[in-house]
Amino acid sequence: MKSFTRLTGLAAPMDRANVDTDLIIPKQFLKSIKRSGFGPNLFDELRYLDEGQPDQDNSGRPLNEEFPLNFFRYKGAQILLTRENFGCGSSREHAPWALDDYGFRAVIAPSFADIFFNNSFKNGLLPIVLSDEIVDQLFAEMYASEGYELSVDLESQAVMTPSGQVFKFEIDEFRKQCLLNGFDDIGLTLQNTDAIKTYEARRRQETPWLFDVVK
């Protein structure tokens, strides 16, 4: 798994609440059997003026010049600043894959949908929860100052603004360690093989119908 330690990067806005996974990566791109290549179709319906198709060359498509990610000042952004309940909707991991493939390494919001939040960690994409007030402040500062960069340090669980203001964020210890170290979490779980087998043997005795073979 991709690790995340610290980052200083340009922030860009997705200034609306309840951004759903259909908006992050529309359904037609889910037909891919790969994990990569979703970046050009991130926010496809907002970014372009036409309907995108899988396997299409996106370079010639008409851009929506009013969509902030198409502004010159946000080119190369690595931190997405957004509103409450980001990533609601489906379980598609294509959403963090698309954000990652585009170049985002962290998303800051007042809240996230559960499945998206969980999926992000598996892909080295750090979702950071900060309060409504702080997110409002970051939006205001970002809009006011071109080239607005934030620094994120996972070890100390802190976001730092250009003026040196520091905001702490919470994160589960297990997720933090996995992300800092880029652990292969399947490998980690398989270290518990004995415990899983013991559990399984007991349940086979107690609840044998759970182990009936499906044919």
Partner 1 sequence: MAGKTLYDKLWDAHLVEQRDDGSALIYIDRHVVHEVTSPQAFEGLRLAGRKPWRVDSVIATPDHNVPTTSAERASGVEGIEDRVSRIQVQTLDDNCDEFGIVEFKINDRRQGIVHVVGPETGACLPGMTVVCGDSHTSTNGALGALAHGIGTSEVEHVLATQCLVAKKMKNLLIKVDGQLGEGVTPKDVVLHICGVIGTAGGTGFAIEFGGQVFRDMSMEGRLTVCNMAIEAGARAGMVAVDETTLSYVQGRTYAPVGAEWDAAVANWADLHTDTDAVFDKVVEINGTDIKPQVSWGTSPEMVLPVDALVPNPDEESDPVKREGITRALEYMGLTAGQKITDIYVDRVFVGSCTNSRIEDLRAAADVVKGKQVAASVKQALIVPGSGEVKIQAEEEGLDKIFIEAGLEWREPGCSMCLAMNADKLGDGEHCASTSNRNFEGRQGYGGRTHLVSPAMAAAAAIAGHFVDVREL
Binding site for partner 1 (CB under 8 A): 16-18, 20, 22-23, 26-28, 30-35, 45, 51, 54-55, 83-85, 88-93, 96, 111, 113-115, 118-119, 122-123, 172-175, 177, 185-186, 188-190, 192, 195-196, 199-200, 203, 206-215
Cα(79)–Cα(81) distance, rounded to whole angstroms? 6
- Nearest approach in angstroms of CB 163 to partner 1 is 25
- Nearest approach in angstroms of CB 141 to partner 1 is 18
Residue partners of 187: CB distance under 8 A and separation at least 6? none
**68 vs 96 by CB, closer to partner 1:** 96
- Nearest approach in angstroms of CB 13 to partner 1 is 13
Structure tokens at 164: 């040196």
- Nearest approach in angstroms of CB 55 to partner 1 is 7
In the three-class reduction of DSSP (H, G, I as helix; E, B as strand; rest coil), residue 8 is classed as strand
Give the CA dihedral 190, 191, 194, 200, nearest 10 degrees: -30
Q: How far apart are the first and last CA of the chain?
A: 35
**62 vs 76 by CB, closer to partner 1:** 62
118-to-126, 128, 137, 205 alpha-carbon distances in Å? 10, 12, 26, 33
**10 vs 40 by CB, closer to partner 1:** 40
**111 vs 161 by CB, closer to partner 1:** 111
Give the DSSP H or E segment for 132: helix 132-144
- Nearest approach in angstroms of CB 203 to partner 1 is 7
